[in-house]
């Protein structure tokens, strides 16, 4: 039996694999429709091509790029606005268009902190995605973005305090702040061990980040047992919003 259809909305190429790669692979393996919207990087860049490779591994279709510039890499989308600097209404309308076209049961995005690192693009993606999920069901909002569609549930990819204590040194560079939530806030803890090979393959498909020693590169350098322990669990918070039809739907 297929699991619910799933649309992930993340900030950068590699966020989908690191934050929800196991969940995407799990849903796709049952025949569920899965897709990923990525806020930054232009279609003609190397990072976008690597994203396409990662999504093929996860079974999540072709990239859906909003085309904004990464806050820390203006070369990511030459001539385009930085995602955080773009008009909020414009960004929400674009994501609403993807929701209405794909018609997912569940949407997954960053938590309000933007994950352990607190990256500004991640936090802004959370704002845009949560607004878009609610707006997508209101027929007089963004009427040019397609027929209304209300996802059943919105889940936030997160890290509980216990995981941050155990793995924070591997995930966030020394000296940087870490953002995690109380363990009791987590409403879905997903064991993605059966899909670990796909998740790892998708993470390592982001070769630019591997080569420059970003998180995919640090994961590549771990012993296999450590990689498995680090990547085999994903945590989510169910965010209840007015207008959801089935707020108890699990990812």
- Mean pLDDT for the stretch of residues 39-65: 98
What average pLDDT does this structure show over 194-198? 98
Cβ neighbours, 10 Å, residue 85 = 10
Nearest 5°: the CA angle 207, 208, 211 is 80
Instruction: Say how far apart CA 28 and CA 70 lie, in whole Å.
Output: 28
Contact yes or no for 221/137 (Cβ under 8 A):
no
Local structure of residue 76 (DSSP, 8 states): G
Give the Cβ contact number of residue 228 at 10 Å: 14
Q: What is the pLDDT of residue 250?
A: 61
* φ/ψ of residue 38, rounded to 5: -120, 125
Distance CA(106)–CA(150), nearest Å, equals 9
Domains and CATH numbers, the chain: 6-239 (3.40.50.10320)
How many Å apart are CA 108 and CA 220, to the nearest integer? 25
Q: What is the pLDDT of residue 71?
A: 87
pTM: 0.94
Cα diameter, the chain? 53
Tokens of 37: 């919207």
Residues 70-111: pLDDT tens digits? 988 989 999 999 999 999 999 999 999 999 999 999 999 999
How far is Cα 155 from Cα 137, in angstroms, rounded to an integer?
A: 17
Q: What is the pLDDT of residue 242?
A: 46
**Closest by alpha carbon to 6, among 89, 103, 129?**
103
Q: How confident is the model at residue 248 (pLDDT cuts 50, 70, 90)?
A: very low
């Amino acid at each position: 039996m297929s699991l619910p259809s799933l649309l992930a909305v993340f900030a950068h190429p590699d966020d989908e694999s690191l934050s929800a790669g196991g969940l995407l692979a799990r849903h796709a393996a049952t025949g569920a429709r899965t897709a990923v919207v990525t806020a930054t990087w232009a279609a003609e860049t190397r990072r976008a091509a690597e994203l396409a490779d990662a999504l093929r591994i996860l079974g999540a279709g072709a990239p859906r790029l909003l085309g904004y510039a990464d806050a820390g890499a203006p070369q990511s989308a030459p001539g385009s606005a930085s995602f955080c600097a773009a008009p909020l209404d414009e960004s929400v309308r674009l994501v609403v268009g993807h929701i209405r076209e794909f018609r997912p049961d569940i949407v997954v995005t960053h938590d309000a902190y933007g994950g352990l690192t607190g990256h500004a693009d991640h936090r802004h993606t959370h704002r845009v995605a949560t607004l878009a999920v609610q707006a997508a069901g209101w027929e007089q909002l963004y009427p040019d973005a397609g027929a209304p569609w209300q996802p059943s549930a919105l889940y936030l990819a997160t890290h509980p305090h216990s995981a941050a204590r155990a793995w924070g040194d591997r995930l966030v560079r020394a000296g940087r702040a870490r953002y995690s939530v109380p363990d009791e806030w987590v409403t879905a803890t997903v064991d993605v061990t059966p899909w670990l090979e796909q998740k790892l393959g998708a993470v390592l498909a982001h070769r630019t980040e591997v080569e420059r020693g970003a998180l995919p590169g640090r994961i590549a350098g771990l012993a296999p047992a450590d990689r498995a322990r680090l990547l085999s669990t994903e945590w989510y918070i169910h965010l209840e919003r007015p207008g959801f039809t089935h707020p108890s739907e699990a990812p």
